[in-house]
Amino acid sequence: MLREVAGLIKEKVRDSDTVARLGGDEFGMLLVGCPLEKGRQIADDVCYAVKDYRFVWRDKIFNIGVSIGLVEVGHESGAMDDLLSAADSACYVAKKQGKGRVHVYSSHDEAVARHRGEIQWLQRLQSALSNDEFELFSQPIVSLSGKTKSGPAFEILLRMRDENGKEISPDKFMRAAERYQIMPHIDRWVVQRTLAALASESIGLPEGKSCAINISGQTLADEGFLEFVVDCLDRTGVDAAKICFEVTESAVVDNLAHAQRFIGVLHGMGCRFALDDFGSDVGSIANLKNLAMDYLKIDGSFIRDLGSNEVNRAMVDAMIKLARTLDFEVIAEQVEDNLSLEAIRLLGFDYVQGYLLGRPQPLLAVA
């Protein structure tokens, strides 16, 4: 298919132009002595040609498309690396706008600036992984049902610090981690460091309690991650019952087969599981009965105004009843005010988590 697409591109450029494969499914076009408007026309022609193309493989027909980032070369364009970086950023914006689009690079383009910011975050994330620069924080999960000897004690959270030592929230860097498919590496780092801390008793975990670790959708789809977790548990000797993995609804729905195996195997070893952000994706409800879950963590969007929003209360009440039918315990997250906390108590939640109960703190401070 790549050879045929390359042929389509060559048909639309001029004899003086150069087409080359840069790697994977990426191609580069160098349009020599070409005004920007003409370059845009050529790029559009390539998009239309690929859109009309049908790839046939084993009696199946596949529709494909291309996204093109166009950069005008001038005296102030910078080095080749700068041009390729600009083209990559413009191509990313075109791809986000939909298949078959062309985006012309501008140094003042906000969308391009956001992408370049993600590139910078990618470099920082790779450095943090290589140099062990991440930090683990924890936020308490408080029991409301009187079960002080079981359940999750706290959630493990990931943080970084800037060059001045100021804490950086994951909201700043997780988009880049997901965009560039490095969440599996980050999740491995978190699991490895958490188990090492538990094994060395560097952190205090009450007897019978567990700590919650988030697993991304990308990691859930990684076939090698299950083996990695099992190996870490074996090497550290940590009791599997001390670990509770949190997986989001969307991650489970998007990777159902992998999720069922991952959850089934580790649950059988003693690990606990929580379905995070419950209520944000109705697609998971039908699959709940087939998942070995222990907790439902109801999405914060339902919790934040629970004390004053009757519709949210009715929906949350229905979720809790479903959880009871399936023998799951229920956790409220993002609890930030006493009015919501009182509503949570009345509705019968088992556990509660949020700034009202405790802010994240360095993990070792839990000891």
pLDDT in tens, 184-210: 999 999 999 999 999 998 888 888 899
In a domain, 113, yes or no: no
Residues 172 and 196 grouped into a single domain? yes
- The verdict on 227 and 332 lying in the same domain is yes
Give the pLDDT confidence of 313-363 residue by residue, as tens digits.
999 999 999 999 999 999 999 999 999 999 999 999 999 999 999 999 998
* Same domain? 103 vs 131: no
The conformation of residue 364, written as its DSSP 8-state character, comes to G
Measured from the Cβ of residue 335, the count of other Cβ atoms closer than 10 Å reads 23
CATH label of the domain that carries residue 319: 3.20.20.450
Same domain, 41 and 173: no
- Look at the block and give the residue holding tokens 């009187």: 146
Q: Is 86 a residue whose pLDDT tops 50?
A: yes
Sorting pLDDT into bands at 50, 70 and 90, what band is 367?
very low
Could you tell me the residue range of the domain that residue 50 belongs to?
2-107
Judge if 223 and 90 occupy the same domain.
Answer: no
Q: Tell me the C-alpha distance between 222 and 286, whole Å.
A: 24
In this prediction, residue 366 has a pLDDT band, given cuts at 50, 70 and 90, of low
Question: Mean of the pLDDT values across residues 218-223?
Answer: 92
**Do residue 292 and residue 352 come from a single domain?**
yes
- Confidence band, pLDDT 50/70/90 cuts, at residue 281: low
Same domain, 157 and 182: yes
Q: In 3D, which of 273, 268, 264, 314 has the Cα closest to residue 297?
A: 273
Q: Are strands 295-298 and 272-278 parallel, antiparallel or unpaired?
A: parallel
Residue 214 has pLDDT above 80, yes or no: yes
Q: Do 179 and 204 lie in a common domain?
A: yes
Residue 319 maps to a domain: yes
Query: Which pLDDT band, with edges at 50, 70 and 90, does 45 fall under?
Result: very high
Which of 74, 107, 140 is the C-terminal boundary of a domain?
Answer: 107
Q: How many domains does the chain have?
A: 2
Does 77 share its domain with 177?
no
Of 107, 141, 170, which residue is a domain's last?
107
Instruction: Please tell me the distance from the alpha carbon of residue 46 to that of residue 39, in angstroms, as a whole number.
Output: 11
Indicate whether 117 pLDDT > 90. no
- Whether residue 355 is found in the same domain as residue 258: yes
Query: Looking at the domain assignment, is residue 12 inside a domain?
Result: yes
Would 242 be classed as within a structural domain? yes
